[in-house]
Amino acid sequence: MSTTSPNITDPVTIVEVSPRDGLQNEPVLVSGDQKLALIGHLVTMGAKRVEVVSFVNPRRVPQMRDAEQVALGLPEAPGVRFIGLCLNERGVARAIATQDNPRPLDEAGCVLVASDTFGVVNQGQKISDGILANNAMLKMARDAGLYAQVTISAAFGCPYEGPVPADRVVELAKRMADAGAQEIALADTIGVAVPPQVGDLTARVIEAIAPIPIRLHLHDTRGLAPANAWAGYQAGCHTFDSALGGLGGCPFAPGAAGNVGTEELLYLFGRSGITTGYDLETTLEANRWFATIMGRALPSRAGKAGDFVARPIPIGANS
């Protein structure tokens, strides 16, 4: 295994996924207008890539029932790239159709599941079917001028089959690179990974598909997502998905908790001297605002604790 030792000056790109992955498992429906307001807050925070919708069957994921409405209302936001998640060719076609919008989508995010059982539950297809489908989806997206990227879901463990062999994930990454993927993400969909595993697999995939960039999508089910992000960074990954407030989960993955909180990553990398392009205080304000929309405090620990600042001793504390 070869690893890339990051420079303390190497910046990090954070892809905000709260409008899609953050909300898809929420039982209380968030309106299209509220999602667009959330996207506006994310842009103000400093987000340069935002996963805004998922083009899926609304009967399976009711929260994404208004994908076209949200896609039609996206702000101009110069320098920001908007992503639509696509699970099949119909989803890619819906993403392509946004090219007629005043502000079209920039990226199609495809998905390949790394286990047969979860693939059938999540998308109705085994790995072999997923490879064929993604070959077609990536070509469709690229031919239409969309940046075509793919996430390898359950790359670190399957809720039904258990551990997923690293060799399988590396091979799937190679197959997707050969199919034309312009970026490949490794997803810890159910939050079972540990730092050594993340560092090892990240380094192996980077070595296998270079110069195609890699991204990490980490869930915080067991509280290890920030540590896993750091292990991924040390192995050479500089792009990470996160969700404001640590919202998220997968309706088809039992026990999956939320995404790593954006606040967690901003605190981790910011305190480590690594730039993200986000403003932590503005992010904390957005957290407090969206908590009023959700009707509860959001899960992110850093979102609750805030930044680390020295506080004056209260008057009379020693009396």
Domain range for 210: 13-305
Number of domains in the chain: 1
How much is the average pLDDT of 246-253?
80
Confidence of residue 277 (pLDDT cuts 50, 70, 90): very high
* pLDDT in the model for residue 3: 45
Asked if residue 2 belongs to a domain, the reply is no
How much is the average pLDDT of 167-190?
98
Asked if residue 312 belongs to a domain, the reply is no
Looking at residue 71, which CATH number applies to its domain?
Answer: 3.20.20.70
309 Cβ contact list (under 8 Å, min separation 6): none
Are 302 and 264 contacting, i.e. CB atoms less than 8 angstroms apart? yes
How much is the average pLDDT of 45-50?
98
Asked if residue 311 belongs to a domain, the reply is no
- Cα distances (Å, whole numbers) of residue 37 to 67, 74, 164, 242, 249: 14, 10, 38, 18, 21
Confidence of residue 69 (pLDDT cuts 50, 70, 90): very high
- 225-241 pLDDT tens trace: 999 999 999 999 999 99
Q: What is the share, in percent, of the chain residues with pLDDT greater than 90?
A: 86
* pLDDT in the model for residue 250: 73
Asked if residue 6 belongs to a domain, the reply is no
| pLDDT tops 90 at residue 254 | no
Asked if residue 209 belongs to a domain, the reply is yes
| pLDDT tops 80 at residue 135 | yes
Which long-range contacts (C-beta less than 8 Å, at least 24 apart) are formed by 117-124?
117/158, 117/160, 117/161, 118/153, 118/154, 118/158, 118/159, 118/160, 118/161, 118/189, 118/252, 118/253, 121/160, 121/252, 122/87, 122/153, 122/250, 122/252, 122/253, 123/87, 123/88
Q: Which residues are catalytic, by number? A: 250
Confidence of residue 7 (pLDDT cuts 50, 70, 90): low
* pLDDT in the model for residue 122: 79
